[in-house]
Amino acid sequence: MATPTDRRYLESHEWHKLEGDTVVIGITQHAADELTDITYVQLPKVGTKLAAKGRFGEIESVKTTSDLYTGVAGEVVAVNDALTNNPGLVNSDPFAGGWMVKIKPTNPADVETLLSSADYDKKTGHA
Amino acid sequence: MLKRTPFHDFHVAAGARLVDFAGWEMPIVYKSIVDEHNQTRNSGSLFDVSHMGRLQFTGPDATRFLDLILTRNIQTQKLGQCRYSLVCNEAGGVLDDVIVSKDLKHWAMVCNASNREKLVKHFHAVRHDKSLDFDMADETESTAMVAIQGPKVIDRIAEVLPVDIRGMKRYSFVSEELFMTPFTVYRSGYTGEDGVEVVIPARAATMAVKMLTGSLDKPDATIRAAGLGARDTLRLEAGMPLYGHELGEQGDPISAGLGWAVDLTKDFIGSTALKAIAAAGPKRKLVGLELEGRRIARQGTPIVDDTGKPIGEVTSGTFSPTLQKSIALAYVDAGKSDIGTAVSADLKGTLNPAKVVPSPFYKRT
């Protein structure tokens, strides 16, 4: 699957998509494939304040456990509760149904400072 | 340079993710560990286990030698039988866990890939120290080995192999020839399912896979390829110990719950130490744990009692695809090892409630 060009990325594989005045965050297909079957996603509570490059949760697969990071500072306004019972959504639909948190960014322009899809693909060797 | 098994091209063609496994380039997963796990529980899977060590022993002192290095009594082992056994050091620490089989012409041993070189050195040293007269042949790279496991594989294999598979007892084996190709079928495995493990000449590997399984790439095939990732979740559900996790030179087979595989009425390397451990009772025991929630307690996770005192450590943990529960094997203080004991897994500072449960977690019905 091609890496969507309508969003920005971190080297640690999280995508950030600006939707109105919120930023939606999830992880890439590449990361989901590397993790293999995802069994658990720990997400923050609505209202949690996050710092840029801060840790917002944890993701576990049969293989390993990894931290989740946000590229922009802000406050959590929604979390994807569907992942509680169906963490496999991150494997099957990482760029849409497998989203993790929505945050209201302190400075929406910060999203533009993150990696473009082309830069991300270069870093992960998919270009 | 990593060693490749005779199935390497097959793995690549099937889209496997290959990883370094004890110096061998092995498939960890083709598409999904959970799918491959479920395929094994529901129908059948083929695992390439050619990386496992295969040694043969012949000569006048071969039996005496094996009796000296193995924890089980092999004098009572019959022709055509294979047995699980441990190889220990003088302190009773586990050098490896192995399957030993008795054939007309030789004894054969299957050992862990990561321990093969260490064992071969150990065996040479024992032969020299005790002036024993036997030959040891390492057949690992001239042969291939596959494990075919699952409830539907026996019927499938009975259709293609000239062997009375259904009549074979568990832990028995037969050696036969087909189209001038020798092969050995063991009714054994490491998944908690019925099944076989087959050793064939390396050159016959590709042909054998086609014959044994038919078309592996069909989505509805009875037998499909599975990687070592699924093999690990399967063996953990079945409560089977893995070297480097539950077993090692710092541990002993009595504490690991493998007393049934240790014959303390005979003398072998490590028997003095193991008799002492058995007499005093092990200080810690390997137990099964079930965790609340979906989080996984991985190897090294501390286990604490209800007062928060450390009482042990996890050796393997996963989210069980069959039971849909977080399970683990752990060594805990013997006094905290009773079924039902409430404990907690310390997951990076968060205490996750757990309890001691019977292992195996999964038993084939």
> What does the alpha-carbon distance between residue B316 and residue B346 come to, in Å, rounded to a whole number?
14
Question: Among partner residues A36, A40, A91, which is closest to B294 by beta-carbon distance?
Answer: A40
Contacts of A42 in chain B (CB under 8 A): 295
Nearest CA in chain A to B34: A37
Question: Among partner residues A37, A42, A87, which is closest to B33 by beta-carbon distance?
Answer: A37
pLDDT, chain A, mean: 94
Residue B157 host element (H or E): helix B153-160
CB distance from A86 to chain B under 8 Å? Answer: no
Nearest CA distance, B43 vs chain A (angstrom): 20
Closest to B162 in 3D by CA, of B185, B129, B138: B185
φ, ψ of residue B235 in degrees (nearest 5) = -70, -30
Are B33 and A65 in contact (CB < 8 Å)? no
Over range A104-108, report the average pLDDT: 95
Q: Which of residues 29-48 of B touch A (CB under 8 A)?
A: 29, 32-34
Tens-digit pLDDT profile for residues A37-53: 999 999 999 999 999 98
Query: Do residues B34 and A62 touch, judged by C-beta distance below 8 A?
Result: yes
CA B150, B154, B157: angle at the middle one, nearest 5? 115
Q: What pLDDT score was predicted for residue B215?
A: 62
Q: What pLDDT score was predicted for residue A1?
A: 59
Segments of chain B with pLDDT less than 70 = 214-219
To which residue do tokens 């078309």 refer? Answer: B215
B313 assigned binding-site residue? no
Residue B331's DSSP bridge partners are: B286, B313
Nearest CA in chain A to B347: A65
| R_g of chain B computed on alpha carbons | 21
Tens-digit pLDDT profile for residues B212-235: 776 665 667 899 999 999 999 999
Residue B325's DSSP bridge partners are: B320
Q: What pLDDT score was predicted for residue B143?
A: 97
Q: What pLDDT score was predicted for residue B217?
A: 59
pLDDT band (50, 70, 90) for residue A31: very high
Q: Which of residues 5-44 of A touch B (CB under 8 A)?
A: 36-37, 39-40, 42
Nearest CA in chain B to A59: B295
Question: Whole-prediction pTM value?
Answer: 0.93
The ipTM of this complex is: 0.83
Query: Do residues A68 and A81 touch, judged by C-beta distance below 8 A?
Result: no
Query: Do residues B192 and B235 touch, judged by C-beta distance below 8 A?
Result: yes
Q: Mutate which of A61, A62, A64, A84 to disrupt the B interface (most B C-beta within 10 Å)?
A: A62
Q: Two tokens at B22?
A: 């004890």
Query: Do residues B153 and B194 touch, judged by C-beta distance below 8 A?
Result: yes
Q: What pLDDT score was predicted for residue B161?
A: 86
Are A65 and B296 in contact (CB < 8 Å)? yes
CA B46 to chain centre: 15
Between the CA of residue B120 and those of B69, B110, B314, B351, what are the distances in Å? Answer: 12, 12, 30, 44
